[in-house]
Amino acid sequence: MTHAVPPSVPFAWSAHPRSGWAFWWRWVLATNVGWFPGIVLGTWLAQPLAESTPTLAAVAAGAVAGLCFGATQAFALRATLPTPLAWWLATALGWPLGIGAARLLLDALGVDTQPLLDTMLTGFIAGGCVGLPQARLLPPSRGARQWPWVSAISWGLLFPGALAGLWLVLSWRAPDDRTHAK
C-alpha cells in the first residue's frame, strides 16, 4: 500500500516510519550517547596537552567528541541520508575546527574566566562550524539553509540533541519521502 504525503505536510509528520517523535528521540539519544563518552574520552586523551597548549588540547578533545557524536548521529540518519558516512566526516572535521576557532576567539577576548559564558559561546561557534558542512548533506530545502543557525543555537544553549532534533522533526523534508510503501 502506498501513502502519498501532501507537500504541505512536513517530512517528520508524514506516514514515514522514520519520522515524528520516534525520530526525535533517536536523534536526541544519538547525539547524547555519542557526545558524553566522546567528550570524556577526548578530555582524558588530551590531558597531557592541557597545560602547555590548552587550545590544541581543546581541539584534540573536540576531535574525539566529533568522531563519537558524528558516528552516532550518522547512525540515526542512516536511513534518511544518502551518505551517512559523509555526515560522520563533516561532524568529525567541523567540530574540532569550531572548537579551535572558539578557543582562539575567547582567549583573545579574555572571556574564559566565566565558565558558563565560555561554554555557551564555544557551543555557539562550534555548533555553527559543524552545522555548515552538515547542511550541505541535508536535502536541499529552506531547512537545510537554516541548519547552521539551528546547530549553533542548539549547541550554544547547551541543548544540542533536543533543540536540533525538534527542528529536524518540524521542518526537514527528505526529497524521496513524499510517497512511502507500507
Predicted confidence at residue 25, as pLDDT, reads: 83
Q: Taking a C-beta distance cutoff of 8 angstroms, is the pair 14, 182 a contact?
A: no
Closest by Cα among 92, 98, 62 to 74: 92
Measured distance CA(113)–CA(33) in Å, rounded = 29
Predicted confidence at residue 77, as pLDDT, reads: 86
Q: What 3-state DSSP class applies to 113? A: coil
Q: Taking a C-beta distance cutoff of 8 angstroms, is the pair 16, 169 a contact?
A: no
Q: H helices within 51-83, ranges in order? A: 54-77
Quick check: 7 pLDDT over 90?
A: no
pTM for this predicted structure: 0.77
Q: Taking a C-beta distance cutoff of 8 angstroms, is the pair 145, 136 a contact?
A: no
Measured distance CA(107)–CA(125) in Å, rounded = 14
The owner of cell 584534540 is 60
The owner of cell 552538515 is 134
Q: Which tens digits make up the pLDDT trace of 38-73?
A: 989 999 999 999 889 989 999 999 999 999 999 999
Give residue 38's identity as a one-letter amino acid code.
G
